[in-house]
Amino acid sequence: MRKQKNNASAKKRQPHSRGGHPAELIQDIYRIMNERIKCAIPEIQHSCLLILEELAVQDNVMQLDLVRATKLKAPTVSVCLQKMERDGLVTRKSDENDLRATRVFLTDKGRELDNQIFKRICEQDAAVEATLSREELETLRIILAKVHSGLLDGAPVNDEN
């Protein structure tokens, strides 16, 4: 019978275990950065973070606008807003002109949480920038913007392998 090695001495998982596909690398980088950011705010779900980010840019928006902006399903937004309201991060009020519509506002506590998140994001940006030269960083920005744009524009999926 073989003894298992101690996991503490195990090597870190390689992010490109299947050949370094760009989507795999991006997903792995996202996971790493998301885990580091969530260390400061472990109590909030990812979908609620998306809503928080939208409200930090512009609040006093209708709940339906948050569904469109975050691309989350309406029930998901509704549940997140209930949690966020319970936690004092947002307030919801009926629209004065259309009582069927609900407007959402970020509270001071919500703004403070967004500031904490933004600070963590800036720390992660600084860590990335420290590993790259100025030219590499500019090239990375150009490439990521191009990938982002292509994905938003609905770039076709290549099923050939």
Overall CATH class of domain 38-151: mainly alpha
The string of pLDDT tens digits covering residues 111-155 is 999 998 899 889 988 988 999 999 999 999 999 999 989 888 875
Strands 61-62 and 90-94: unpaired
Q: Which residues pair with 106 in a beta bridge?
A: 90
Query: Considering just the CA atoms, what is the radius of gyration of the chain in Å?
Result: 20
Q: Where are the alpha helices (DSSP H) in the chain?
A: 22-38, 46-57, 63-70, 74-86, 108-130, 134-152
- Alpha-carbon dihedral sign for residues 61, 64, 68, 71: positive
Q: How far apart are CA 78 and CA 51, in angstroms?
A: 11
The string of pLDDT tens digits covering residues 37-68 is 777 676 788 899 899 999 999 989 999 999 99
Average pLDDT over residues 68-95: 94
What pLDDT does 8 receive?
41
Q: What percent of the chain has pLDDT over 70?
A: 83
What pLDDT does 20 receive?
74
Domain coordinates of the chain in residue numbers?
38-151
- Better-scored residue on pLDDT, 51 or 161: 51
Band of pLDDT at residue 7, cut at 50, 70 and 90: very low
